[in-house]
Chain A
Amino acid sequence: NAGVTQTPKFRVLKTGQSMTLLCAQDMNHEYMYWYRQDPGMGLRLIHYSVGEGTTAKGEVPDGYNVSRLKKQNFLLGLESAAPSQTSVYFCASSTWTVGTEAFFGQGTRLTVV
C-alpha cells in the first residue's frame, strides 16, 4: 500500500552539484507532478506529465529537468544546484479523470549550501 514514494527524503548539496529526485507511484496514475514549497508559501508547480513519455513546464521550471520514461516513475533533475533551490519538494500523482484527487509523496527536504 505504498502510494507515492519519494527518494531521498533529505539531501544536502553543494552549489554546482547535480542530483536526481525519484518519484514512484503504484496506482497506475497517468498524471504526475513535481512541486516545490518554500517556507510560508504554497506549492509551486515545477514540471508535470500527463502520461508516459510526456512532460510539460509548470510555473517555475528553470533550473530543473524531468523525465517520465516509465509510467510509474517521474524523475526531477537539478543539473547545477543553486542556494535558491533550497526547498521542500513534493511529488504527486493522479488519474486521467478530471476531478480526481492527487496523492502526494512525503516530500524531499533539499538544502543547497
Chain B
Amino acid sequence: RKEVEQDPGPFNVPEGATVAFNCTYSNSASQSFFWYRQDCRKEPKLLMSVYSSGNEDGRFTAQLNRASQYISLLIRDSKLSDSATYLCVVINAGKSTFGDGTTLTVKP
C-alpha cells in the first residue's frame, strides 16, 4: 500500500462546477499536510496548507480528518484556469511524500 494515495481521476468538469479531491495517508504520525498545484511540465507550487480546523482560501477549501487519515480539497465555481494536476503531500519528521496527483480539466 502506498503511503499517500489520491483519487485517480481524471476529473473533467464544466465551468462553474464544484469538484472535490481526496487524499489518504497511511502514517498516523504524519504532521503536516499541503495541497500543491502542478501545471504541465512545470514545478509544483503551493496551493494551500491544510490545518486541523480546516481552512478556506477564496474558492478553495481544504480539510483534514485525522481519525480517517485523509485530507480533501474542494474547489467551488471552477474556472478554466483551474485545469492542472493537484498533488497532496504529507510530511513526517521532515520527510515529504507526495501523492500521484489528480488531474482536473475544466471545460467551457
Name A residues whose Cβ lies closer than 8 Å to a Cβ of B. Answer: 31, 33, 35, 41-45, 48, 50, 56, 58-59, 88, 90, 92, 94, 98-102, 104-107
Binds A, one of B11-19, B71-79, B94-102: B94-102
CA distance A88 to B44 in the complex (A): 12
B95 touches A45 (CB 8 A): yes
Measured between C-beta atoms, what is the minimum distance from B36 to chain A in Å?
A: 8
Could you say which residues of chain B place their CB within 8 Å of the CB of A98? 31-32, 91
Q: How far is the CA of A50 from the CA of B45 in the complex (A)?
A: 21
Contact B44 A90 (CB under 8 A): yes
CA distance A99 to B92 in the complex (A): 10
B62 on the A face (CB < 8 A): no
20 A-B pairs, CB-CB below 8 angstroms? Answer: A35-B98, A41-B100, A42-B100, A43-B98, A45-B95, A45-B98, A48-B95, A48-B96, A50-B94, A56-B95, A58-B95, A88-B41, A90-B44, A94-B96, A98-B32, A98-B91, A99-B32, A101-B34, A102-B96, A105-B43
A31, B92: Cα distance in complex, Å:
12
- Given A41-B100, A98-B32: A106 and B94 within 8 A (CB)? no
Known contacts A98-B32, A101-B49, A45 near B100 by CB under 8 Å: no
* Chain B residues, Cβ within 8 Å of A59: 97
The answer to whether B99 and A45 touch across the interface, beta carbons within 8 angstroms, is: no
Tell me, yes or no, whether B46 is within 8 Å of chain A by CB. Answer: yes
The CB with the most chain B CB atoms within 10 A, among A35, A42, A99, A101, is that of A42
Contacts of A101 in B (CB 8 A): 34, 46, 49
